[in-house]
A and B are shown apart, each in its own frame.
Chain A
Amino acid sequence: MQNSGSNLPDSVNTPSDIYIPPTPPVGLPLWLLAELTYRCPLQCPYCSNPLDFAKQGQELTTEQWFKVMAEARQMGAAQIGFSGGEPLVRQDLAELIAEARRLGFYTNLITSGIGLTEQKIIDFKEAGLDHIQISFQASDEQVNNMLAGSKKAFAQKLEMARAVKKHGYPMVLNFVTHRHNIDKIDKIIELCVALEADFVELATCQFYGWAHLNRVGLLPTKDQLVRAERITNEYRVKLAAENHPVKLIFVTPDYYEERPKACMNGWGNLFLTVTPDGTALPCHGARQMPIQFPNVRDHTMQHIWYESFGFNRFRGYEWMPEPCRSCDEKEKDFGGCRCQAFMLTGNASNTDPVCSKSPQHHLITQARDEAEYASQTIEQLAFRNERNSRLIAKS
């Protein structure tokens, strides 16, 4: 058995007057995120993949993915997301979809649309694919292509979005918003309505992976964010009045909150990610943590979810230091995001600095202040590609 040890500080001494609730029963891994590959034709500077993706190990084989899916399904996983990188570069994607659907999963393909063809859309439908989500970088061609690092990306995405709809899939469009495109939110919404999207995710950048590296050049200002949310609400009212079925989902970045998000609905409670080389994670951002997470090549999913050190590391409340430990909101937000606590404070057990009770909350308020005078252009961002990944991983 592989060692799954950790060099994180261990449990904390508790004064006896603090009530620590018992660890609740482990939830079912309802959501399986299958990151099939880190290969991707685009270079989005806000990619959530790890900075050192270029030096990750070999990708799992088709048969290894079949085993992962069958075991997870047996344990109650109902949703599967095929993601990456760009999942379309996997030649066995149709096979993986067919097997997932045969097992009873609701199958989601999360793609940039680059590499998609109408024939593939038809083939995936026959294989049993339930849903295709296409991500856009911006509403206008020039900004989109600049962000994607590809000259043809935008036209291809529009064509594929239309084909997805034509072949009877529900359509979910995803726009990652940031300081360079959020002021065009009205154009983004209008484009989605014109494409007849059923769901639109207007997701402000979450600062993990490459987005964290490029944070100064991506974080919108408070004014930008307030304006975008107001315009989104105006469109919601207008579209509802027209009986339009489209649903607009607006995701705010937690950098403008005073309380942290209940990240992943709790550590190892709902969400299970398997990365291209088979490392299993409680969230797709967790790879960077100083915890040796289990690999599906060495362990069953049952062991990984219920017994492995990594998945149990932050379950329950015993691991919490102050101020979370004595906080009466800990059962609501679980102290926020472990990855963010690690990235910003160097200790994954610390309170997420988003929380105004965190002694390191100034890290967040400083980032907000920086956003007021940041001057980076899109060209100055670090693009997510192999060359940059190798350079960053070395330094």
Chain B
Amino acid sequence: MSFNREQVPSWRRGYRFQFEPAQNGHVLLYPEGMIKLNESASAIGGLIDGQRSVGAIIALLDEKFPGVSELGTDVEQFMEVARAELWIEFA
């Protein structure tokens, strides 16, 4: 089944993505919990704003990191995981 890149992801209510200086990295905060994100998840997460579609996020990352193969698939995979974990919702 192909992934619909028209979908617009937004963080689920109560979930907040932010940079933590003390951890020198991005985290996802939610009620009484925290997930530390790796570099690629942070780059994707930073572009989720409830406005951009998955396709737009891929295009922006492609500009920023030209020549990365499988970039589109990586972003799709992140979105699948994030949705399964209920971190994001699609509009």
Residues of A within 8 A of B (CB): 28, 30, 74-76, 78-79, 81, 104, 106, 108, 130-131, 133, 168-170, 172, 198-199, 245, 247
- Do A108 and B32 touch (CB < 8 A)? yes
Q: Total A-B pairs in contact (CB under 8 Å)?
A: 52
- Do B22 and A172 touch (CB < 8 A)? no
Q: Is the interface of A mostly helix, strand, loop or mixed?
A: loop
Docked Cα-Cα span, A108 to B33, in Å, equals 10
A30 partner residues in chain B, CB cutoff 8 A: 34
Question: Hey, what's the 0/1 contact readout for B9-31 against A, CB within 8 Å counting as 1?
Answer: 00011111010111100010111
- Do B34 and A78 touch (CB < 8 A)? yes
B31 in complex: contacting residue of A28, A75, A170, CB < 8 Å: A170
A245 partner residues in chain B, CB cutoff 8 A: 86
B32 partner residues in chain A, CB cutoff 8 A: 79, 81, 108, 131, 133, 172
- Do B14 and A169 touch (CB < 8 A)? yes
Known pairs A130-B16, A130-B29, A172-B31. 15 more at Cβ < 8 A?
A30-B34, A75-B22, A78-B29, A79-B29, A79-B33, A79-B34, A106-B29, A106-B30, A106-B34, A108-B31, A133-B32, A170-B12, A170-B30, A198-B31, A245-B86
Docked Cα-Cα span, A353 to B21, in Å, equals 40
- Do B18 and A28 touch (CB < 8 A)? no
- Do B16 and A76 touch (CB < 8 A)? no
Q: Is the interface of B mostly helix, strand, loop or mixed?
A: mixed
- Do B16 and A168 touch (CB < 8 A)? no
B15 partner residues in chain A, CB cutoff 8 A: 170
Docked Cα-Cα span, A199 to B33, in Å, equals 12
- Do B23 and A106 touch (CB < 8 A)? no
8 contacts between A and B (CB under 8 A): A76-B20, A78-B27, A79-B33, A130-B14, A130-B31, A133-B32, A170-B31, A172-B32
Docked Cα-Cα span, A247 to B22, in Å, equals 30
- Do A106 and B22 touch (CB < 8 A)? no
- Do B16 and A106 touch (CB < 8 A)? yes
Cβ of A224 to closest chain B Cβ, rounded Å? 26
The chain B residue sitting closest to A199, CB to CB, is B31
Per the 8 Å Cβ criterion, residues 31-55 of B in contact with A are 31-34
Docked Cα-Cα span, A76 to B14, in Å, equals 20
